Structure 1
Amino acid sequence: METIRMIWLFFQDQILGMKWLNTLIGNVLTAIGLSLDSVIGGALQFFLYDTIKIFVLLSVLIFGIS
């Protein structure tokens, strides 16, 4: 039973929550020299993450409806 709970939590966090995307964007911004603790770095990470996430979710929704 604990295994199923762990699988569900992984699916919920990583797939539905797209935490992997947030981590990837953070790593890319850090690699190009931006600090995620700065205002610009944090805002850019938030903007890119939310823009990509909303685009993906809308694409899935439109595909599902059509």
Structure 2
Amino acid sequence: MRNNLVFTNIPEDNSTGSEPPEVTERELRNHLEEKLKIAKETADAMRFERVHRSPSHPVHGQC
């Protein structure tokens, strides 16, 4: 089992459904800075093994 952190309700502007991990990671770092008030230097120093989004609503045609 991995050490996982799950963040919810981070707005997503992803009309194609294929947001690259780099964009997801950037959005997460912005969320850490703006909403959780974590210093930019600290947020930038955090290492993530994997960053991805899970759909907040069912995606048609997928299980």
TM-score, normalised by the number of residues in structure 2? 0.36
Higher relative contact order (CA 8 A, sep 6+): 2
- The structure with the largest helix share of the pair is 1
TM-score, normalised by the number of residues in structure 1? 0.35
